[in-house]
Structure 1
Amino acid sequence: MADTYFVGVDVGTGSARAALVNLKGTVLKQCVKAIKTWNPENDHYEQSSDDIWRSVCHCVKEVTSDADKAKIRAISFDATCSLVVLGANGEALTVSNTSSNEQNIILWMDHRAHAEAALINATKHELLQYVGGQVSLEMEIPKLLWLKKNIKNTWKNIWRVFDLPDFLTWRSTGADTRSLCSAVCKWNYDAMKMCWSAEFLKKIDLEDLCRNNFGIIGQSICEPGTAVGAGLTKQAAEELSLLPGTIVGTSLIDAHAGALGMFGCRAVLNEHDKQLEAALDNLQGKLALICGTSTCHMSLTREPCMAHGIWGPYRGAVLPKYFLNEGGQSAAGILLDFVVKSHPQYTAIQAKLGQNEHIYTYLNKLLKKMTEERKCEDMCQLTKDLHVWPEFHGNRSPIADPNLRGMITGLNMNDDEEALALLYLAFVQALAYGTRHIIDNLVEKHKRVPYSSMLFCGGLAKNNVYVQAHADICQLPAVIPDEQEMVLVGAAMLGACAAKAFESLEATSKAMGGNGVLLKPKSSTKDFHNRKYRVFLQLLEDQRKYKSIMEMECSCTSIV
């Protein structure tokens, strides 16, 4: 078994990736290839399932090129929760106003279905209690309703619709199955009764999906990590350069794969920190943050916890016998990129960076220097007079309002490097205050089991200023896995479980989760962040006040 390997495939917002992973959860080789996104009009983001599959095949071939294919026991997939639409014989069907069939995926971050989400939420159906009280326009049912209303030729010719992770397992096995993770988290599947609700679909004018025993949206719902069909088909095996029949594990959404990978990660503790060991090992006390373009906040409980604006509780969405709650920020990494790249100093800083130096590394060093020069007790104090409400792309959790917008107070006319560094730090802190807002909503308002630690993976997990800000603002220890590619490891875990390398998915997570570095919160910053958090919450109230003022009917009378 020592030379047994698994392939994990992750399809994110901008790229497909694959990794060869061993039984210890170590990534031995990985490959990444960009995928194409179309943005033909405001709020419309579209991709191609053919383009994605080609990129997946390229990456898998690359990471397995030197491996003995007979020793690769399984392959599994995770992907963004994007909607894939197929017609007869699995051919791509357009989801675009451009009418291009190549554009057959509505990307997760697409916000075209505002009206449809509002219509669904107005029903106040009991299923909505499992999505924080209201469906998000990022989920699949509002997007399907939009398709029915707006692209009628596509609607009448649909054969199957898939969540992107399920498309990948279907494309590789030919088995028409769906992951419980995708179905319950993004399709309003009733995980408590383990069935689709015909009554719900009829109520929102999607009874077409009930035909042929829900064949369009999937009759067979499988738990993550179970084997799909008979493994790789001959065609898929050739395209991936693997052996036919290689086991394929039921998929997860990409963020959920990262959570699975991290839930089993252990913090390396010194003698002074041993008292934290029990708390850090408590699965119900862990908050997993998957920090990329967006940030997803994942946590598990034995008993269901219902909270407004927090998705879930989803039964069995990641691990059997646990309920998943999912918070999130629609814009995280992409927001920091926007702030930094739109600043006048961005081009000048980029021009003087070394080949392997990242602009965030440069800004972090500059912030440290500014802290010393200004004789601040801690870096966080640099933003004493600069405050941000970060919802430039709407709020996913815990308010669940896609119409909220960003706010900044404390700006001046400085446009030098230090001004950019301060603005960047204020936005990093604002994202961390957003995480605290999610935690408070769950623990204080809804009596969830208190959190004892946070775990970080994704691009932003490599930024210590971002992680330390979260630890200080939430006053929770943070764990950063030694293996940085935990989403890929989580994907590989699904295959390892399907191949029965371990007795259960939970055991697989613990065996392959590896170790991590512990960052402890600084108690000296607690009072500062408590006050700044009060400002953060006040910004929300101010925005609501401004909106209310502007929506008041004008009482002015015209002068003749």
Structure 2
Amino acid sequence: MTYFLTADGGTESLRARVYDLSGVCLGSAAVAYETKFSAGARAEQDPEDWWQAFITAARQAIETARVDPSAVEAITLATTSCTVVALDREGRALRPAIIWMDVRASAEAEAVLATRDGALISNGGARGPVSAEWMIPKALWIARNEPEVFENAFTICEYQDFMTLRLTGERAASLNNVTLRWHYQTDRGGWPSTLVEALGLDALLEKWPQRIVPPGGVIANLSAKAAGELGLSTGVKVVQGGADALIGMIGLGVAHPGQLALITGSSHLQFGVTESAVHAPGIWGTYRDCVYPNRYIVEGGQTSTGSIIAWLGRLMNGTMDFDEMNRKAAALEPGCDGLLVQDHFQGNRTPYTDPLSRGAIVGLTLAHEPHHIFRAIMEGIGFGTRAILDAMATAGYRGTEITVGGGAGASDLWLQIHADTAGLPVCVPASRDAPSVGSAVLAAHGAGHFATIDDGIAAMVRPGKRIEPRTREMALYADIYQQYLALYPALKSVRGQEGRSI
């Protein structure tokens, strides 16, 4: 028997899983680690915690799976993206990692955008935004505010690359991460040299790992030291993964033009597959070779989605029964008796790229109850997704179906609302652990069991349910959607005064 070890390195914990060649998860274990928050929207982690979490979780997952460790053939990881680490020559962290949600580098993000460099074409057709979360703004912040750290750093890389270094001793970056958030472009000369030079950051080019490995490519075998810590053999291949949401596309089986992955949780991410480049205001991307060879990924995103449902739960002092709320909300007609929600509770990522936009509940009466608001929130989020799909369509990408991963897959009502508001079928695979399944597919491909990632998907990603849009509801939502679109310009003129947010 052949088995594959995966790790999903998230914001709060790392979960290791063991899969067989058919895509079945045989064992799983998670280990939490600490995030330290401080003023200025700062969030940091100790990279050593990631490594220790992986060792512990991996050993526990293999034990739970009851497999012979000698039968583990390959390892692939999916981790948070834009989690930046600075390392010395021995691979030791010079400072805590600046994790993805840390936005201290807002001024540096503005400086990156102000260059108007051609490498920014993937950011709204070079009109932005550039996020303080991304690699170059964070590296620029270190150079400006901690020059001794920047100068002494032999390697500046990401969570993914730190783990690769510990596993193999190799300084290698994932093509997935560098195309997604480092402005590397396989069809435009590679590294963003003129961009970093314009920022006075030329030295960064030498500090980045120079070896770039695509998802599914073999980086190296386990080093003797790593093998000993994990209880595995040095014959185990370490196969490249990438950013958790993008590797999740593979785990959802989203690989062909027209397919769109909807990654749900506190926020929504939309990733579509295209055969050609698409660059336009209101969308991010496209990123060539980011996940699949010779294919492009187009990106959209909603900042607040599941987090708005959580907000409603807090307002109800923890008394919200999710099952009951779904049941009552499902009995309502589209439009929730005149309620309309703008889903910009933490600003708008796409298609307006307006961090100062805010949420709104419009049409409230004394007759409305919590389940009306609950459904209206879901509908507003569905309309927000539809607005992103429309922006993509205007730019030249048209989705034919939506495949959902994450928390929204647990609510049949939410899935149906997404289908009805978008006018597209919604699919949910049998497993919603998309980053881990995607990592298992890559591990099997890198180990030589499948000639292509597509072949691995066909063998290891099992189908689940499919929800079709309903004709009557689609027609009702078409009218309400126009009212939703009218909210943004109307509310923009009356928004409250507050400082800039990211």
Identify whether the pair has TM-score above 0.5, normalized to the shorter chain: yes
1:200 maps to 2:162: no
Q: What RMSD over aligned residues (CA atoms) do the two structures have, in Å? A: 2.1
The aligned counterpart of 1:277 is none
| CA distance 1:115–1:143, change in 2 (3 Å) | same
Q: Is the 8 A contact 1:6 1:492 kept in 2?
A: yes
CA distance in 1, matches of 2:144, 2:312: 36
The aligned counterpart of 1:338 is 311
Q: Is the 8 A contact 2:156 2:204 kept in 1?
A: no
The aligned counterpart of 1:296 is 269
Query: Counterparts of 1:145-544 in structure 2 under 5 Å?
Result: 145-210=140-205, 214=206, 216-229=207-220, 231-263=221-253, 283-341=256-314, 343=315, 345-349=316-320, 359-368=321-330, 371=331, 376=332, 378=333, 380-381=334-335, 383-411=336-364, 419-443=369-393, 445-448=394-397, 450-544=398-492
CA distance in 2, matches of 1:70, 1:424: 50
SS at match of 1:346: coil
CA distance in 2, matches of 1:77, 1:294: 22
- Which one has a bigger Cα radius of gyration? 1
Q: Is the 8 A contact 1:10 1:254 kept in 2?
A: yes
CA distance in 1, matches of 2:106, 2:481: 30
Q: Quick one: which amino acid aligns to residue 436 of structure 2?
A: L
Query: Counterparts of 1:106-117 in structure 2 under 5 Å?
Result: 106-117=98-109
CA distance in 2, matches of 1:320, 1:516: 26
Residue by residue, what CA displacement relative to the aligned partner does 1:102-129 show, whole Å, maximum 9, x if unpaired? Answer: xx22222222222221221122211111
CA distance in 2, matches of 1:259, 1:338: 28
Query: Counterparts of 1:105-144 in structure 2 under 5 Å?
Result: 105-132=97-124, 133=126, 134=128, 135-144=130-139
SS at match of 1:184: helix
CA distance in 1, matches of 2:441, 2:114: 39
SS at match of 1:451: coil
SS at match of 1:297: strand
Q: Is the 8 A contact 2:185 2:288 kept in 1?
A: no
Q: Quick one: which amino acid aligns to residue 45 of structure 1?
A: A
CA distance in 1, matches of 2:415, 2:115: 40
Residue by residue, what CA displacement relative to the aligned partner does 1:407-464 show, whole Å, maximum 9, x if unpaired? Answer: 22234578xxx73332222222222111111110011x2122x221110111222222
Return the offset for 1:42. Answer: 4.2
Return the offset for 1:43. Answer: 2.2
Q: Which moved more, 1:72-81 or 1:326-335?
A: 326-335
SS at match of 1:207: coil
CA distance in 2, matches of 1:546, 1:292: 30
CA distance in 2, matches of 1:196, 1:177: 14
Q: Is the 8 A contact 2:113 2:120 kept in 1?
A: yes
Return the offset for 1:52. Answer: 1.9
SS at match of 2:7: strand
| CA distance 1:143–1:391, change in 2 (3 Å) | farther
The aligned counterpart of 2:68 is 68
Residue by residue, what CA displacement relative to the aligned partner does 1:527-547 show, whole Å, maximum 9, x if unpaired? Answer: 321222222222211232235
The aligned counterpart of 1:97 is none
| CA distance 1:328–1:404, change in 2 (3 Å) | same
Unaligned ranges ≥5, structure 2: none
| CA distance 1:311–1:260, change in 2 (3 Å) | same
Q: Is the 8 A contact 2:217 2:240 kept in 1?
A: yes
Q: Quick one: which amino acid aligns to residue 512 of structure 1?
A: M
Return the offset for 1:363. Answer: 1.8
| CA distance 1:512–1:51, change in 2 (3 Å) | same
Q: Quick one: which amino acid aligns to residue 458 of structure 1?
A: G
Task: Report the TM-score when normalising by structure 2.
Answer: 0.92
Q: Quick one: which amino acid aligns to residue 209 of structure 1?
A: L
Identity %: 30
SS at match of 1:298: strand
Number of residue pairs matched by the alignment = 492
Unaligned ranges ≥5, structure 1: 95-103, 265-281, 350-358, 552-560
Return the offset for 1:510. Answer: 2.1
Q: Quick one: which amino acid aligns to residue 111 of structure 1?
A: V
Residue by residue, what CA displacement relative to the aligned partner does 1:336-368 show, whole Å, maximum 9, x if unpaired? Answer: 223322x1x33344xxxxxxxxx4223212324
Q: Quick one: which amino acid aligns to residue 62 of structure 1?
A: Q
CA distance in 1, matches of 2:354, 2:280: 15
Return the offset for 1:472. Answer: 0.7
Return the offset for 1:259. Answer: 0.4
1:27 maps to 2:25: yes
Return the offset for 1:194. Answer: 4.9
| CA distance 1:6–1:55, change in 2 (3 Å) | same
CA distance in 1, matches of 2:138, 2:303: 17
CA distance in 1, matches of 2:364, 2:36: 34
Return the offset for 1:19. Answer: 1.2
SS at match of 2:485: helix
The aligned counterpart of 1:353 is none
Q: Is the 8 A contact 2:85 2:158 kept in 1?
A: no
| CA distance 1:535–1:45, change in 2 (3 Å) | farther
SS at match of 2:203: helix
Q: Is the 8 A contact 2:7 2:16 kept in 1?
A: yes
SS at match of 2:257: helix
SS at match of 2:34: coil
The aligned counterpart of 1:99 is none
Residue by residue, what CA displacement relative to the aligned partner does 1:499-529 show, whole Å, maximum 9, x if unpaired? Answer: 0110012221222122121111111112321
1:39 maps to 2:40: no
Return the offset for 1:489. Answer: 0.4
SS at match of 1:75: strand
| CA distance 1:420–1:168, change in 2 (3 Å) | farther
